[in-house]
Structure 1
Amino acid sequence: MQGETAPFACLIRWNVLSLDQWTERFAQARRASLLQSYDYARAACPVLGLKARWGVIEIDGAVAGLVQILETAFPGHILHGVHLDRGPVWLPGFGAPDHVAAVFHCLNRVMPRRLGRRRRFIPDVVDTPDMRDALAHAGLRARGSSYQTIWLDLDPDDDTRRAALRKSWRSELTKAQHNNALHVDWTTNTQTIDDVIIGYHADRTLRGYPGPSVKMVRALARQFFATNNLLVGSVRLQNETIAMVLVLIHGSSATYQIGWTTEAGRDYHAHHLLLWDSSVILKQRGVRDFDLGGISDDKDGLAVFKTGLGGTIVRTPGFYD
């Protein structure tokens, strides 16, 4: 079964917008995922051996959102892979369960499930019974567990956001800010990009946590640096760098991509400095939503740390085909 009849008429028009038009519309969306951004496609496709397509979603004749898919195909499309990761991107006023059902019903019609086609849909919708019903009615099958990330709303002013920090988080940030031995720097250039990636690779190798490959991070950093959408921050203690982060900006949203810290960095709360400063810088640049990154457990240390900054855990339904 490819799904029931959609409650709205939905049309996806592919590759009809200029880059400027796509960028303008993308910036209108709240909580737009990194994986749906044009810069991400430009960076990831050569690394993954994929090609991108960009769709404008129209529901009952109105422009409702954007969708970016990455594809792999062999001659004649006998074998075809379709990746829709953390999308679509909904424009204001859209994204209700009926809209979600309509767009995935449309995708089912355009790219039906068949022998030789591998589909990976990771809908970027809040995991609720209504949303799961909408995906099922569109003919999608659940194939994986839910995904959780933490979003920080940057609309409130800095004083309001600081007052909303968890008390212990705010106390540790204040200690770090008043420590004259620490120096925070937000210089983004080829040297600092190399430094944060080298440190990330060493830290990930030592501690064994999951994360993007060094090749992918380098490709992302190169692309986002070229479009002035990259931030690299570091904290030094005397002559030693004790923590670094790399943040990607996409539309009116941004994503904490990688970071690392030393034991001294943890002792001196260096990441409190970097995350707080990055939120201030992003707000100054017009960013409204900051994706602090995925978590595996909403009660683990990483989740507790990120929610201390004021972030909200958002759970999506996971992987479908």
Structure 2
Amino acid sequence: MEPDLCLPLQQHPQYSAALRQTGCAVLEVHLPSAAPVQAISRFGLTLASRGPIWWAEYGPNDANILRCSGLNVINSIGYDLAALRSAGYRLIHTPNWVAELSLSGTSSARLAAMKPKWRATLSRAEKARLRVKHDRFDPLCHGWLLSADLAQQRSKGFRSLPHTVLQAYAKASPDHVLVFVASDKRDPVAAMLFLVHGHVATYHLGWSGVAGRRSGAHHALLVRACDHLERRGLARLDLGQVDTVNAPGLARFKIGTGAQLRALGGSWLRVPWL
């Protein structure tokens, strides 16, 4: 598989194109032995998130390359910490953890890898006989989901990627934004939205009403999404950050899928005089 097809969302050109459509200043920084680095320029600083992505094992010269790259802040993928230190970057934020679910196996293998409690909730969702369907994201048809997402952001006190970026992504790559909806008869009880980039998909947002939480609808939605994404030829589903302190319930949900937990490299600031 070509390595550029497995880039994280933040380093994929489709994501950068969507950001540009919303007026963000996005730069592409070219480094030897690495994928073109997608970086955002803001307040006089150039930020690269989840990059650079090195294709070959980095060596001593990569520190010099990073030093001259013009990248001020790097949210590291986690593989180049020695090079970052040598290039004069200093850690300013400890690493987050992400959950990555492989889609290379069968549905049965994924089911076997799930935690017992996760499988039990999935069984409850299947007995509820919810109707699950998926479609490309449509701003008109799925406006209710965006409204529900804004409401839960306000009630839970968090912020996510602006919907304008999501809409720009869908406009440029309509087949790469997928919405899975679980309904009880005619009424939606839960939904999940995924962004596809190369051979990877990223879980972007989810919503569940009271009936959806009671039936475990998100478990059924995720299983159905994984099966669809696997048939589509994707290799990995990025479930995003695992935060056991501020979002313990969501963290348990992600861990219960059997996904691999991986530490990123933290946030690094370039100190010019080093």
Q: TM-score, normalised by structure 1?
A: 0.75
Match of 1:85 among 49, 62, 65: 49
Could you say which residue in structure 2 is the equivalent of 1:26? 4
Q: Does the Cα contact within 8 Å between 1:247 and 1:255 map onto a contact in 2?
A: yes
Distance 1:71 1:264, change over 3 A: closer
Deviation at 1:195, TM superposition (A): 3.2
Q: 2:137 touches 2:178 (CA, 8 Å); kept in 1?
A: no
Q: How does 1:61-210 map to 2 (within 5 A)?
A: 64-72=33-41, 80-91=44-55, 94=56, 96=57, 99=58, 102-111=61-70, 119-125=72-78, 131-180=80-129, 182-190=130-138, 191-210=140-159
For 2:94 and 2:36, locate their aligned partners in 1 and report how far apart those are by CA, in whole Å: 22
Contact 2:63 2:84 in 1 (8 A): yes
Residues 88, 123 of structure 1: 8 Å contact kept:
yes
- Output the TM-score relative to the length of structure 2: 0.87
Q: Which deviates more from structure 2 when the two are superposed, residues 295-304 or residues 271-280?
A: 295-304
Q: Mind listing any 5+ residue stretches in structure 1 that lack a counterpart?
A: 1-22, 59-63, 74-78, 113-118
RMSD over aligned Cα atoms: 2.5
Q: Structure 1, residues 42-61: CA drift from partner, whole Å, max 9, x if none?
A: 11123353033153x43xxx
Per the alignment, residue 231 of structure 2 pairs with 284
CA distance in 1, matches of 2:45, 2:20: 13
Separation in structure 1 between the aligned mates of residue 163 and residue 40 of structure 2, nearest angstrom: 22
Identity %: 24
Alignment of 1:44 onto 2:8: no
Q: Answer with 1 or 2: which has the greater Rg.
A: 1
Structure 2 regions of 5+ residues with no counterpart? 270-274
Report the Cα offset of residue 214 of structure 1.
2.7
Matched residues in 1 for 2:127 and 2:62: separation? Answer: 51
Aligned residue number for residue 167 of structure 2: 218
Tell me the alpha carbon deviations over residues 130-169 of structure 1, each in whole angstroms, 9 at most, x when there is no partner: x533321222111222122111111121111111111111
Structure 2 CA distance for aligned equivalents of residues 65 and 285 of structure 1: 27
Alignment check: 8 A CA contact 1:196 1:232 kept? no
Q: Is the 8 A contact 2:189 2:217 kept in 1?
A: yes
- 1:257 equivalent in structure 2: 204
Structure 2 distance, partners of 1:90, 1:278, is: 30
Q: Which residue of 2 aligns with 1:18?
A: none
**Distance apart, 1:101 and its partner CA:** 6.0
CA contact (8 A) 2:134 2:179 kept: yes
- 2:19–2:26 Cα contact (<8 Å) kept: no
Residues 88 and 149 of structure 1: is their aligned pair in 2 closer, same or farther, counting only changes over 3 Å? same
Partner of 1:306: 254
Instruction: Name the SS of the counterpart of 2:178 in structure 1.
Output: strand
Cα shift readout 1:152-203 (whole Å, capped 9, x = no counterpart): 11112111111111111112112212322x1101022424442322221122
Contact 1:67 1:87 survives alignment (8 Å): no
More relative contact order in 1 or in 2 (CA 8 Å, sep 6+)? Answer: 2
The secondary structure found in structure 1 opposite 2:39 is strand
Asked whether the 8 Å contact 2:12–2:38 carries over to 1, the reply is: no
Aligned AA (1:109): C
Q: Structure 1 residue 320: deviation in Å?
A: 0.9
Residue 40 of structure 1 and its aligned partner are, at CA, apart by 0.3
- 8 A Cα contact 1:69 1:82, kept in partner: no
Query: Which residue in 2 is equivalent to 1:53?
Result: 28
* Letter of the structure 1 residue corresponding to residue 240 of structure 2: G
